[in-house]
């Protein structure tokens, strides 16, 4: 009996009217035992590597100076009155300009970004707009578990998964096979660098991915989940979002790339719930048509974004120190990345395959069949007070080093050694 | 050709891949010409009575002292790191306690409120959970246009509307008829005092409404939209939310009342996007089952609420001056209400029926057939720089006096006189 069945039985006996009123989605609903569930179990751990948000490793946030502190410099009208449904125009403009600047000023026209309630909401809007039971949604595996909820459970898509890695690189052949299995229309989700792999491809790999996408006959929406944009620590990796590569010479008859990004990680403002949706411009009229549909969907789900957070995002985007402050945070993570990489290299390769990682906030490792990821997670939790996330279906462990202090990383590595030796 | 058809044609020609990928909901989507659309047209008016948010009448917010100002006293972890999916427990507890206190400590057990992204999101969650094409959603007419988007367009319910007023009172007979037309399962939306009527019933009327609901065989979810809770200016009106009356002796086999409330109006924090969902408790297990389903839905649509706003809500709820600060704001609105009521009483009753109004932020008037509400709105806008909202389908005009300075109310009344005389 699945989790949802158990809940439905409980409701049937104690809240019969509620149970009888459930929609098909309501009947299927049950909070998954994924990352938030496992993170909750680890909340009292000494070393808690479960949650993908940057902290000082002592539970405290490291907000950018432009975001942190008081509401000084934030217009009270902005902070306390309703925002436009698609966001204040100055914030949308400032965000779009920064994105283009970070990408080196690409020569492709794009729409003015629309403000959403965070990256989940952006993806949920794309699901509402483009996904129904006839849609195939192609995602790498493993990938963020919420894709399954958003596209599969809510929007009833068929999820087509292909293995993320192949020979220590992004699995372009798997992507081609995934795209080939689309029945009529599709959505491809790309999350580079991403969760849980922490992998950013080289420019060479990006060119191959773009070629694979370009060869698909469509119609295809490419949702570029740029949550971790800019968080890349290794030389020789593609530096800009693949969105821009997909836009260059895009055939809008067949393809629509959509950039899904936001303040969450790019402005180190995890609680903000301020994100953006951008697509290649197809002229004022068509951009307005798509915006009208998106505004309709925003209005009928959550309304406009939260004022105090929007005000702080606006202030941060206007701050002359933004890029240097971000670079500082990135240097901090690069140091942790280096330490962790050295530590994980000491693990027995025959039992633990540590996948290449060089971006975002995570290291991912697949365990040998003689080991059980969920059992390893439990022992780390209970015997060493170390919290990590297990992906039982991949027999894999994810370490979110964004929330671990540099000094605690050796403890994490030695706990892994101890549990593996004893398992 | 409808608005959506026009948009679809524009997309078909300029963004063909996007157009071919549209879901049924995406095809139907078009931002409505409702309140946000009309408010946008009136944004430069001298007297702008379109938007339901409290201002000083000069465009400035009037936040409660506990909300306003800096982020001092807000825990940075609260402000900048992820919140739990269902909200921080202390905020949920503080909100639930205040609601019970405001209702005079009712003797009915209720669930710990769940945090959502605003009242729209709360209603959208109820739609996801309880509404499908087999569901009839009963609403008074006129009511907030977004109900149609949320329940009708998004969740595919059949909307059953009954006239709000009958003989200058809430139309209990219409409610009974609406409930009687439910085919199998239903959702009833009650919004008292509400938008756009601004009407709060007497205790006697509330008892009749409760009796009408109670006599329905169910299964029925009663969504009590308490957005404007507490904003009542007239003596002799029912003082607490009808949610509590519905909970007393509720038969959970047939009925589930759900309280939909939030910081938006109750804490004069329009931009917050912090709201709450509460239902009668059916024991720990059943409450947890419903919570699991709601958390699943929140996770797959927007994730947890915005940190800075949550922090400010927490601070406001802890402020010892909260109730006196709210009373001050309410006194301000009561004064505007009195002035406007006197002004509207001078209009020609034969041509303009001003419905009784005593709560929320609005006055509603139905125009005689010889007048056209949309034409009256246009003339007010273009000839007098006065912004109001027209409801063409009811030939009615809504005045949001919450955003009009006391001194400007005579100007609004005389503009109405002038336009009616000239029409």
Cis check for the bond before B6: say yes or no (omega within 30 of 0).
no
Are A174 and A287 contained in the same domain?
yes
Alpha-carbon gap: A230 to the closest alpha carbon of chain B (Å): 19
Of B7, B128, B220, the CB nearest to A17: B220
pLDDT surpasses 90 at B74 = no
Q: Cβ of B271 under 8 Å from any chain A Cβ?
A: yes
The alpha carbon torsion through B288, B292, B294, B297 (nearest 10 deg) reads 180
Using the 8-state DSSP alphabet, how is residue B31 labeled? -
On whether residue A356 sits in a domain, the answer given is: yes
Are A328 and A180 contained in the same domain?
no
Q: State the pLDDT at residue B332.
A: 93
Q: Cβ of A120 under 8 Å from any chain B Cβ?
A: yes
CB contact under 8 Å between B129 and A7, yes or no, is no
pLDDT-derived band of residue B52, with 50, 70 and 90 as boundaries?
A: confident
Span B286-297, average pLDDT: 92
Span A298-306, average pLDDT: 89
Q: Which of A318, A333, A354 is the C-terminal boundary of a domain?
A: A318
Question: A160-204 pLDDT, tens per residue?
Answer: 999 999 999 999 999 999 999 999 999 999 999 999 999 999 999
Q: State the pLDDT at residue A69.
A: 66
Q: State the pLDDT at residue B69.
A: 66
Span A364-373, average pLDDT: 96
**Chain A / chain B CB contacts < 8 angstroms:** 377
Are A194 and A264 contained in the same domain?
yes
Alpha-carbon gap: A243 to the closest alpha carbon of chain B (Å): 16
On whether residue A74 sits in a domain, the answer given is: no
Residue of A nearest to B79 (CA): A271
Strand A185-190 and strand A220-225: the pairing is parallel
Alpha-carbon gap: B205 to the closest alpha carbon of chain A (Å): 25
Are B348 and B301 contained in the same domain?
no
Distance CA B403, CA B332 (A): 11
Using the 8-state DSSP alphabet, how is residue B271 labeled? T
Distance CA B76, CA B307 (A): 9
Torsion sign, CA atoms A240, A244, A249, A255: positive
Are B285 and B374 contained in the same domain?
no
Kindly list the residues from chain B whose CB atom is less than 8 angstroms away from the CB atom of residue A17. 218-221, 251-256
Question: A40-89 pLDDT, tens per residue?
Answer: 888 888 888 888 788 887 778 888 777 776 777 788 888 888 888 999 99
Question: B313-334 pLDDT, tens per residue?
Answer: 999 999 999 999 999 999 999 9
On whether residue A47 sits in a domain, the answer given is: no
Q: Cβ of B241 under 8 Å from any chain A Cβ?
A: no
Q: Which of A318, A334, A368 is the C-terminal boundary of a domain?
A: A318
Q: Residue B403, CB half-sphere, CA atoms under 13 Å: how many?
A: 27
On whether residue B60 sits in a domain, the answer given is: no
Query: Domain range spanning residue A342?
Result: 323-422
CA triple A231-A233-A236, angle to 5 deg: 115
Q: Cβ of B325 under 8 Å from any chain A Cβ?
A: no
Residue of B nearest to A31 (CA): B296
Name the residue with higher pLDDT: B51 or A236.
A236
The alpha carbon torsion through B214, B220, B221, B224 (nearest 10 deg) reads -40
Helices (H), A357-408: 373-384
Contacting A residues, span 278-307, partner chain B, CB-CB under 8 Å: 279, 282-283, 285-286, 288-297, 299-307
On whether residue B134 sits in a domain, the answer given is: yes
**What total of structural domains would you count in chain A?**
2
Alpha-carbon gap: B282 to the closest alpha carbon of chain A (Å): 6
Q: Output the 3-class SS for B204-246.
A: HHHHHHHHHHHCCCCCEEEEEECCCCCCECCCCCCCCCHHHHH
Are A295 and A264 contained in the same domain?
yes
Q: Cβ of B67 under 8 Å from any chain A Cβ?
A: yes
CB contact under 8 Å between A221 and B17, yes or no, is yes
Distance CA A146, CA A121 (A): 11
B251 by DSSP, 3-state: which? coil
Question: B218-265 pLDDT, tens per residue?
Answer: 999 999 999 999 999 999 999 999 999 999 999 999 999 999 999 999
Q: Cβ of B29 under 8 Å from any chain A Cβ?
A: yes
Are B273 and B183 contained in the same domain?
yes
pLDDT surpasses 80 at B36 = no
Question: A116-143 pLDDT, tens per residue?
Answer: 999 999 999 999 999 999 999 999 999 9
CATH code of the domain containing B385: 3.90.1150.10
Are A279 and A257 contained in the same domain?
yes
On whether residue A388 sits in a domain, the answer given is: yes
Alpha-carbon gap: B278 to the closest alpha carbon of chain A (Å): 13
Are A415 and A349 contained in the same domain?
yes
Are A275 and A376 contained in the same domain?
no
CB atoms within 10 A of CB A168: 9
DSSP track, A69-112: S-STTS-HHHHHSPPPTT--HHHHHHHHHHHHHHTT--SS-BPP
Q: State the pLDDT at residue A63.
A: 82
Are A343 and A407 contained in the same domain?
yes
Residue of B nearest to A296 (CA): B31
DSSP track, A20-49: HH--HHHHH----SSHHHHHHHTTT-SEE-
CB contact under 8 Å between A146 and B300, yes or no, is yes
Q: Cβ of B392 under 8 Å from any chain A Cβ?
A: no
The alpha carbon torsion through B421, B338, B119, A95 (nearest 10 deg) reads 70
Q: What's the mean per-residue pLDDT of chain A?
A: 93
How much of chain B exceeds pLDDT 70, in percent?
100
Alpha-carbon gap: B395 to the closest alpha carbon of chain A (Å): 24
DSSP track, A157-180: PEEEEEESEETTEE-HHHHHHHHH
Q: Cβ of B55 under 8 Å from any chain A Cβ?
A: yes
Alpha-carbon gap: A352 to the closest alpha carbon of chain B (Å): 31
Kindly list the residues from chain B whose CB atom is less than 8 angstroms away from the CB atom of residue A252. 14-18
Residue of A nearest to B148 (CA): A300
CATH code of the domain containing B164: 3.40.640.10
pTM: 0.93
How much of chain A exceeds pLDDT 70, in percent?
100
Q: Which of A318, A353, A373 is the C-terminal boundary of a domain?
A: A318
A363 by DSSP, 3-state: which? strand
Whether complex ipTM tops 0.95: no
On whether residue B37 sits in a domain, the answer given is: no
Q: Cβ of B270 under 8 Å from any chain A Cβ?
A: yes
CB contact under 8 Å between B273 and A302, yes or no, is yes
Are A18 and A137 contained in the same domain?
yes
Distance CA B129, CA B149 (A): 16
Q: State the pLDDT at residue B29.
A: 87
Q: Cβ of A77 under 8 Å from any chain B Cβ?
A: yes
Alpha-carbon gap: A139 to the closest alpha carbon of chain B (Å): 16
Q: State the pLDDT at residue A32.
A: 76
CB contact under 8 Å between A221 and B7, yes or no, is no
CB contact under 8 Å between B149 and A296, yes or no, is yes
Tokens of A6: 């158990």
On whether residue A209 sits in a domain, the answer given is: yes
């Amino acid at each position: 009996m699945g989790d949802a069945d158990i809940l439905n039985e409980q409701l049937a006996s104690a809240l019969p009217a509620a149970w009888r009123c459930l929609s098909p989605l309501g009947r299927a609903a049950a909070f998954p035992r994924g990352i938030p569930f496992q993170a909750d179990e680890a909340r009292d751990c000494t070393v808690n590597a479960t949650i993908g948000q940057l902290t000082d490793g002592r539970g405290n946030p490291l907000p950018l100076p432009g975001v942190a502190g008081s509401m000084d410099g934030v217009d009270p009208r902005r902070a306390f009155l309703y925002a436009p449904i698609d966001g204040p125009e100055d914030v949308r403009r400032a965000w779009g300009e920064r994105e283009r600047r970070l990408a080196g000023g690409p020569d492709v026209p794009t729409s003015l970004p629309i403000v959403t309630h965070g990256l989940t909401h952006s993806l949920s809007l794309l699901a509402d707009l483009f996904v129904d039971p006839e849609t195939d949604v192609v995602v790498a595996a493993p990938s963020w578990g919420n894709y399954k909820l958003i596209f599969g459970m809510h929007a009833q898509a068929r999820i087509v998964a292909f293995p993320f890695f192949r020979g220590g690189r992004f699995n372009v052949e798997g992507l081609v096979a995934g795209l080939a299995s689309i029945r009529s229309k599709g959505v491809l989700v790309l999350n580079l660098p991403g969760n849980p792999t922490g992998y950013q491809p080289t420019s060479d790999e990006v060119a191959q991915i773009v070629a694979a996408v370009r060869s698909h006959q469509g119609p295809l929406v490419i949702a570029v989940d740029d949550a971790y944009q800019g968080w890349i620590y290794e030389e020789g990796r593609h530096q800009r979002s693949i969105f821009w590569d997909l836009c260059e010479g895009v055939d809008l008859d067949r393809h629509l790339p959509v950039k899904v990004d936001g303040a969450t990680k790019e402005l180190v403002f995890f609680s903000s719930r301020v994100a953006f949706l951008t697509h290649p411009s197809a002229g004022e009229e068509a951009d307005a048509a798509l915006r009208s549909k998106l505004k309709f969907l925003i209005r009928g789900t959550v309304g406009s974004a939260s004022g105090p957070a929007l005000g702080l995002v606006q202030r941060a985007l206007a701050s002359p120190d933004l890029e240097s402050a971000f670079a500082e945070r990135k240097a901090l993570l690069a140091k942790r990345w280096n330490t962790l990489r050295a530590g994980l290299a000491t693990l027995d390769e025959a039992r633990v395959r540590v996948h290449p990682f060089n971006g975002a906030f995570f290291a991912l490792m697949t365990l040998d069949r003689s080991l059980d990821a969920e059992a390893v997670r439990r022992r780390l939790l209970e015997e060493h007070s170390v919290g990590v996330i297990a992906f039982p279906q991949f027999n894999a462990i994810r370490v979110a080093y964004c929330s671990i202090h540099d000094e605690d990383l050796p403890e994490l590595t030695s706990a892994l050694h101890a549990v593996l030796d004893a398992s």
